[in-house]
Amino acid sequence: MTKLPKMAGANTILHVAKASGLSPATISRVLNNHPYVKEATRKRVMDTIEKMSYHRNNIASGLRSNKSHTIGLIVPRISMTFQSEVITTIQNHLYKHGYNLMICQSNDSLQMEREMVKTLHSTRVDAVIAACTLNTTDFSHFDLLMNSGVPVIFYDRVPTSKTNATLIKGDDTRGGYLATSHLIEIGCKKIAHISGPLSCNLYQDRLAGFKKAMQQANLKINDNWMFYQELTFENARIAVKKMLNSNDRPDAIVADNDTSAIAALECAKEVGLKVPHDLKIVGYSNDSRSAITSPSITTIEQFPALMGQKIVEALMVLLGKSTANSEMLVEPTIVPVQLIRRLSA
């Protein structure tokens, strides 16, 4: 007996090697499905592994191979319907490919986001997927990763300037256009817009879509009905109250998320306006709540599962596990959107 046994429950490939009368290298080959292993040997090793209930130490493996089989994910918050569905899809797909997911919530804090990039770098994740905060306009903290050869995929909230990262985003321009032109088609002429802060590409694009639809219909944009703010329930209430209490009221509201749309609906009820008769409302994201209000809210579906799937596809290309769709890496991937017509507009 050599220096083998130390503590129960800490079997290593060395133990397996001894027990099966083979070398550690062969055990490793079996574990990694290396081609040059005789079938009989493989079987013998597998049996021993089973018998000893050996489990490979991924930490040691990672140190040697420089692969952690872990993907880092940075997201503002997981509780948003859209985000949690994207993440769910990513996680399920990645798991099938043998990767783990390390999820970090920035809580929409740029400082947290910066720290998390460092942490994920130290953890030696194989790649990072990130939806940035509303305030992230400088993306240079991600250079740390890319300079070390760690691929970065941005989705949803992405940089607008040039980058070496892979970009996957929703068709927000079209989303803004669809929401607005729908209202125009059903006769609205005085359309308000509750936008998010324009520091973020999402809201820039949705605004562009809004403007395009308005211009095409020769409708003028009333600055008193344009709001650029963090899209919270309270902020929306304040904005909508102000509009509804004025002499000149809009006949429709395009909101950049469903929380704001729900707030608008609530305000309308309080003021005694009937939706959609007196005021029409369109939201954004198809939040699970938007389907169950009375009236239910017309909104923009973003297909989070599809986006998650695209993200994993790109990831597999970046990790060299796939060569399909390698053009994803140079051109931004645009995920389609769709108007979900309900009763509010």
Phi, psi (rounded to 5 degrees) for 295:
-70, 160
Name which position in 19, 24, 51, 161 contacts DNA (CB under 7 A): 24
Name which position in 25, 95, 332, 341 contacts a copy of itself (CB under 8 A): 95
Nearer CB in complex with a copy of itself: 122/247: 122
Q: What residues numbered 238-277 form the site for a copy of itself, per CB under 8 A?
A: 262, 266
Is 235 among the residues that bind a copy of itself (CB under 8 A)? Answer: no
Is 293 among the residues that bind a copy of itself (CB under 8 A)? Answer: yes
Is 3 among the residues that bind a copy of itself (CB under 8 A)? Answer: yes
Q: Which stretch binds DNA (CB under 7 A): 33-41, 96-104, 164-172, 213-221?
A: 33-41
Q: Which residue, chain included where needed, has tokens 């297909």?
A: 303
d(Cα 26, Cα 38) in Å, to the nearest integer? 10
Name which position in 1, 2, 21, 79 contacts DNA (CB under 7 A): 21
Strands, E, within the chain: which ranges?
Answer: 70-75, 100-105, 127-130, 152-155, 166-170, 191-195, 226-228, 252-255, 280-282, 299-301, 333-335, 338-340
Nearer CB in complex with a copy of itself: 75/188: 75
CA 63 to chain centre: 29
Phi, psi (rounded to 5 degrees) for 9:
90, 0
Identity of the residue numbered 331: E
Nearer CB in complex with DNA: 44/289: 44
Q: What residues numbered 36-65 form the site for DNA, per CB under 7 A?
A: 36-38, 40-41, 56-57, 60-61, 63-65
Is 105 among the residues that bind a copy of itself (CB under 8 A)? Answer: yes
Q: Which does 128 bind (CB under 5 to 8 A by kind): DNA, a copy of itself, none?
A: none
CA 175 to chain centre: 17
